[in-house]
Amino acid sequence: MVRNSREYSIKKHFCQEYLCTLYSLRSLDRMHCSFEIIFMYTLYILRCKDNSLYTGIAKDLEKRLEMHRAGTGSKYVRAKSPFAVVYTETCKDRSSASKRESAVKKLSKIEKETLIK
């Protein structure tokens, strides 16, 4: 819990610097780095060993991929491992990520392949 505005500004600055470093933002982009990066979601498409495509969303993509690799992510990917990440797209919040995921899942495989390229 933040107790005063000075402590808040120090924590905010630290978080911004950390996020800018984490996302490898150039120094000019650091001015635009904000807390919103923390709350962004990622839409991702995986290509499984049988050449099928799996679409999902994640708040922390690396953590979600580790879950898939460990076999605890989804039954579909567990049955069709190994996989490769072939597409990612950043969404501003869970609602927009879910809507985008739904739209992508409705695409045919040919349309998804076009999106990936």
Please indicate whether residue 103 or residue 4 has the higher confidence score (pLDDT): 103
Average pLDDT, the chain: 80
Count CA atoms closer than 13 A to 77's CA, side-chain side. 23
Please indicate, yes or no, whether residues 64 and 85 belong to a single structural domain of this protein: yes
Nearest to 12 by CA among 36, 28, 40: 36
**The pLDDT of residue 107:** 96
90: domain CATH number? 3.40.1440.10
Q: Is the pLDDT of residue 11 over 80?
A: no
Q: pLDDT tier at 51 (50, 70, 90 boundaries)? A: very high
Q: Are 14 and 21 in contact (CB under 8 A)?
A: no
Q: Classify residue 27 by burial, with Cβ atoms within 10 Å: 0-12, 13-18, 19+.
A: exposed
Q: Are residues 11 and 32 in the same domain?
A: yes
- pLDDT tens, position by position, 76-113: 999 998 999 999 999 999 999 999 999 999 999 999 99
My answer on whether 27 and 56 are in the same domain is: no
